[in-house]
Amino acid sequence: MSPTYDVIVIGLGGMGSAAAHHLSARGARVLGLERYGPVHRRGSSHGGSRITRQSYFEDPAYVPLLLRAYELYETLERDTGRDIATLCGGLMAGRPDSRTVAGSLLSARTWDLPHEILDAKEIRRRFPTLTPEDDEVALHETRAGFLRPENTVAAHLQLATRAGADLHFEEPLLRWEPYRDGVRVHTAEDTYTAGQLVVCPGAWAPRLLADLGVPFGIERQVMYWFQPDGGTGPFRPDNHPIWIWETADGVQSYGFPALDGPDQGVKVAFFRKGTVCTPDTIERTVHEHEVAAMGSHVARHAPALPGRFLKAATCMYSNTPDEHFVIARHPAHPASVTVACGFSGHGFKFVPVVGEILADLALTGTTAHPIELFDPHRLSTIHAPGVRP
């Protein structure tokens, strides 16, 4: 049997890579297991960019975690020399009573975050690429921007390796079970033991955490890149914010500045509005009617789009019924197992602070961070102990 570790981390995407880094940085003997290669495109932590923002319409309770995440992203950039975060500003747009605008304003006021409310005329003046309806407004946040997901994962893996973590790729989990005072983990390659297990399964949560009793829903999402009419100049990050836009019927879409040169276009997508899938059944092909629907929608907000379609890519959301995360000690195995899952399409901006929380929970059993909102008991339908093979 392989040497005993202090902590085994299952899944080395966004959350798992951050957990491996923070655990190993504290001196823990860490084994990380990933079913695919490093920084892969089969899950959720890819696509070149992810929005980050602090005026959080989902719930003001997230803001303290975001403030810490921003600090940790700065440290991550400094410690690795990688391009991680760009704060180009952001617009949360829609009608004043929309969740996107009203919820963002609530968080901004609750936590005294710098912000402005722009009416439609002012939006058009400051950002000529955008064309709001006359009754639409936007919360403008200068501390919003975008993250590089691939660079973030690579940076956390780099630091975890530097601190002595053993990271095994192309080695999927077969099963795990309680063992003595900890856990035993079986893969196709070997069997490992550890005092603690941290499970960051992403879209594989229904399979790996069935005994958690949380009704996860896995959703296929599509990201699109379009070349604007007239070129990407007006959409560069020094001229253009990220945006999240909610229409009168409640549909949210989002977009980014033009990144990585004039030929890479502008990335846009719907927020939610995906189709049910599993990691095994997800349709990776993006169809013409999907491109047309996205193009028609985004043209309402940015007439230079869709312009010319460049490419598309799929990823997966792992949704909980209330769209809040699950971060906790496993209720059935509270002495030895910690879980982080159900990030519901808005988790990536929290990656470094989730890694810090997971290290706290695995090594001490508690954390000073406010995670009460993420207790799985709020959703669980199963409370009896059990282990999913």
Residue 25 marked as a ligand binder: yes
Annotated ligand binding at 32? The verdict is yes
Binding residue per annotation — 44?
Answer: no
26 is in an annotated binding site: yes
240 marked as binding residue: no
Work out the angle at residue 189's Cα, subtended by the Cα atoms of residues 183 and 195, and round it to the nearest 5 degrees. Answer: 15
Any known ligand binding at 43? no
Tell whether residue 55 is among the known ligand binding residues.
no
Establish whether 380 is an annotated binding residue: no
User: Do the annotations mark residue 34 as ligand-binding?
Assistant: yes
User: Virtual CA dihedral for 119, 125, 57, 301, nearest 10 degrees?
Assistant: 100
Q: Is 365 a known ligand-binding residue?
A: no
1 labeled binding residue: no
Does residue 18 have a known ligand-binding role?
Answer: yes
Does residue 47 have a known ligand-binding role? no
Q: Helices 14-25 and 149-162 meet at what angle, rounded to 10? A: 30
Task: Consult the annotation and say whether 185 binds a ligand.
Answer: no
Is 9 labelled as part of a ligand binding site?
yes
- Tell whether 28 is in a known binding site: yes
SS (H, E, C) 134-203: CCCEEEEECCCEEECHHHHHHHHHHHHHHCCCEEECCCCEEEEEEECCEEEEEECCCEEEEEEEEECCHH
Length of the chain: 389
- Do the beta carbons of residue 144 and residue 5 sit within 8 Å? no
81 marked ligand binding residue: no
183 is an annotated ligand-binding site residue: no
345 labeled part of a ligand binding site: no
Report the DSSP pairing between strands 173-179 and 182-187.
antiparallel
Annotated binding-site residue? 123? no
- 6 a known binding residue? yes
Closest Cα partner for 15 from 332, 349, 278, 280?
349
In sequence order, what are the residues at sequence separation of 6 or more whose Cβ sits closer than 8 angstroms to the Cβ of residue 281?
none
Tell me if 15 is assigned to a ligand binding site: yes
- Is residue 17 marked as binding? yes
Ligand-binding annotation for 36, yes or no, is yes
Element (H, E) at 295: helix 288-298
d(CA 389, CA 177): 8
- Say how many C-beta atoms besides its own lie within 10 A of residue 166's C-beta: 18
Which residues lie below 8 Å from residue 329, measured CB to CB, with a gap of 6+? 337, 338, 339, 361, 365
Query: Does the annotation flag 21 for ligand binding?
Result: yes
Query: Can you say which residues are annotated as belonging to the binding site for FAD?
Result: 6-36
| Binding-site residue set | 6-36
